[in-house]
Amino acid sequence: MQGLRNIFNQAKSIKIAHTRLAQWYNQVEKSGFKAFNTIANTTQYN
């Protein structure tokens, strides 16, 4: 979770933060974390 927090805290611009967020999202999705899809769907629709 620390990595996710640092994406926006350390990014020099919102564009860089969005790129890093997309990379983080892909890494977590590939990790097989079972609850991730539920969390991702919740944030996507709200």
Instruction: Per-residue pLDDT tens, the chain, 46 aa: give them.
Output: 567 788 888 889 999 988 998 898 888 888 887 777 777 666 655 4
What one-letter code names the amino acid at 11?
A: A
The sign of the CA dihedral 39, 40, 45, 46 is positive
Which phi and psi (to 5°) does residue 18 adopt?
-65, -40
Q: What is the pTM of this model?
A: 0.64
Domain ranges, ordered by start, for the chain: 2-45
Distance CA 22, CA 13 (A): 14
Give helix 36-45 / helix 14-31 axis angle, nearest 10°. Answer: 140
Please give the pLDDT value at position 46: 44
